[in-house]
Amino acid sequence: MISVIQKKNRKFKEINYYQNHDVSNYFLLPFRFQKINSKTEILVNEVGDFLLVPVGTAEQIILKKLDKIKDEDLYLDLISNFFISEEVIPPLLNILEARYRTKKSFLDHFTALHIFVISLRCEHTCHYCQVSRVTENKDEFDMSLYHIDEGIKIMMHSPNPHITMEFQGGEALLAFNNIKYAVLKAKEEALLYEKHMTFVICTNLAPLTDDMLPFIKEHNIMISSSLDGPAFIHNQNRHRPQRNSYEVTIEGLNKCRAILGEDNISALLTTTNLSLDYPTEIVEEYVKQGFSNIFLRPISPYGFATYNEKKNKYQTEKFLTFYKSAFEKIIDYNKKGYYIREDYATVILKKILTSFPVGYVDLQSPAGMINNVIVFNYDGKIYASDEARMLAEMNDFTFQLGILGQSTYNEIFYGKKAMEIAENWTNESLAGCSECAFQSYCGADPVLNHATQGNMYGYRPTNVFCQKNMEIIRYLFDLMEDKSIEKIFRSWITGHSE
């Protein structure tokens, strides 16, 4: 029943037998390096895996001074992490390919986020806002039903099966009837085009009334509100005749939490010159209001951006000081057992610590504009990003892609303007970025380059986007040398901690 076919020697062999002895030397795989502090430099490979090593290690590796026996641990780390290979074409190249494809797969489905500027009207007069109007004139400053219909048509054309429709202002809730119309219409169309819809309303919550909540709840609409810090900052930032923006916001937050549920309401921080002096107080306010995340956004350079290098650099440095102070406070809370994450760092950390694609509009390459987001303005004009529409409000129409009802899908998304932007939206091909160690954690922002430096390509040595991201990313690695902080970072990525 059982036939003995062949006897084979199964004598055990020593480990040396299994090592590749043909190699007199190794081959480099694509990687980049950068000093992160006086003792440590970072090596980052083509898919974003990194090794922290003593300064001078990159030189050893690149000049092939590494000894397989003497530097065994490092040598094996480099093989295992795809920094070097013993064969010209590494045997696991297709694994690296798959990982590269995965990292860039946020591109696969194309535009998800469709922003509808549903009204430009607002009852706040925030000093930093260049856009909104205090007016009763709905005809001029609300998006017309025709433009809503046309916007939905374009939106349904997106190849992406998951679509987010976001209502912005001005103050979006001032045009609540139009929001209702748009949501119902989009839902109807979504059935036809088999789209999975998510709805978001961005609002300062001031015009929120109880009769709006049932509709918001029924259609699972997420509320994205604003909280700039404690009352003295928030009210200073957000002018309202009654000087009660903070009180109104907190009341609205609590109402939304009670009726819509904790997960359906979030708050965004707008950083202003005033905020920069109060990093701790702002973080404390977010904790006081029970938030488990805070997004420390830099001051928007739109509106008062200049081509003045010195002023831009000074602003960036001030913001970074603010960011780090606030960040330390956040880490402090986590160490004490209160879970709160910083959203911008979390985006970067996901790119650093995981293999998953991270499509975050303001920090990806190719850039998020068009690929990930499109903006339909109240007047029917179409822009490549929210920032592009801000520029337009200052009469710079560089990033206008078309007009609702007039331009075809192809003209908007694949037209001459889109192609021109595309020339500048991959950091892999930008001077200063192409050999930067942080390339795979960073992105490209042609709109910001244009607004601050006068051209989409940008000039990295004096670029605010570059200065800010280089330092934040370096700072995160610096912090990660502390293992307890690295563990906190992991909990930010997964959203749970032990």
Partner 1 sequence: MILKTKGSPYDINTPIIGRVTRIPENIEYEIFISETIFSKTWYKFKAVLSTVKIISSLEIPIIHSIEKLDHLDEGDIVIINTDGIINTIYRKNSDHNFLLFTERCNSNCLMCSQPPKDRDDTDYFFSQYSQAIPLIPKDCPEIGITGGEPTLLGNRFLKLIKQLKEELPETELHCLTNGRSFAWENVAQKVGEIDHKRLMLAVPLYADVYHIHDYIVQAKDAFNQTIQGIYNLAKYGQRIEIRIVLHKQTIPRLAKLAKFIYKNLPFVEHIAFMGLEHEGYTSFNIDKLWIDPVEYQQELTEAVSYLSDFGMNVSIYNAQLCTLPENLWKYSRKSISDWKNIYFDECNKCDLLDQCGGMFASGIKKHSDFIKAIYFS
Partner 2 sequence: MKNIVTLINNELHFSLNEQLYDEDVVFKCFYWYGTDYNVEIDKKDNVFFVKISSKSETKIDHDHLLIKIKQDLIDFKLRDIVTKETKNIRELLTAKAFAHFETDENPVTEISDPIGFDPTNF
For position 68 contacting partner 1 by CB under 8 A, the verdict is: no
3-state secondary structure of 392: helix
For position 419 contacting partner 1 by CB under 8 A, the verdict is: no
For position 101 contacting partner 2 by CB under 8 A, the verdict is: yes
- Tokens in use for 163? 């679509």
Residue nearer to partner 2 on the CB measure, 5 or 69: 5
Helix (H) or strand (E) holding 492: helix 483-494
Phi and psi at residue 402, in whole multiples of 5°?
165, -170
β-bridge mates for residue 265, sequence order: 223
Could you tell me where the DSSP H helices lie in 168-278? 176-193, 213-218, 231-237, 245-260
> Among all chains, which residue has been given the structure tokens 């002895």?
21
Phi and psi at residue 113, in whole multiples of 5°?
-90, 120
- Tokens in use for 324? 């780090």
For position 1 contacting partner 2 by CB under 8 A, the verdict is: no
Closest by CA to 303, choosing from 391, 171, 386, is 391
For position 50 contacting partner 2 by CB under 8 A, the verdict is: no
Of the candidate spans 77-85, 135-143, 152-160, 229-237, the one that interacts with partner 1 by CB under 8 A turns out to be 77-85
Residue nearer to partner 2 on the CB measure, 40 or 491: 40
Interface with partner 1 (CB under 8 A), residue total 41
User: Which of partner 2, partner 1, none is residue 459 near (CB under 5 to 8 Å by kind)?
Assistant: partner 2
CA dihedral 451, 456, 459, 462 (to 10 degrees): 20
Residue nearer to partner 2 on the CB measure, 277 or 423: 423
For position 293 contacting partner 1 by CB under 8 A, the verdict is: no
- Binding mask 65-94 vs partner 2 (x if CB under 8 A, - otherwise)? -----------------------xxx--xx
β-bridge mates for residue 159, sequence order: none
Say which DSSP state 122 is in. Answer: -
Residue nearer to partner 2 on the CB measure, 51 or 118: 51
Rounded Cα gap, residues 378 and 37, in angstroms: 48
User: Which of partner 2, partner 1, none is residue 79 near (CB under 5 to 8 Å by kind)?
Assistant: partner 1
- Binding mask 6-45 vs partner 2 (x if CB under 8 A, - otherwise)? x-x------------------xxxxxxx------------
Rounded Cα gap, residues 290 and 309, in angstroms: 39
For residue 445, the minimal CB distance to partner 2 (Å) is 18
Q: Where are the beta strands (DSSP E) in 361-437?
A: 373-376, 381-383, 400-403
Contact residues for partner 1, defined by CB under 8 A: 1-8, 10, 12-15, 17-20, 49, 76-77, 79-81, 91-92, 94-95, 98-99, 353-356, 487, 490-491, 493-494, 496-498
Contact residues for partner 2, defined by CB under 8 A: 5-6, 8, 27-33, 46, 58-59, 62-63, 88-90, 93-94, 96-98, 100-101, 104, 310, 431-432, 434-435, 459-462
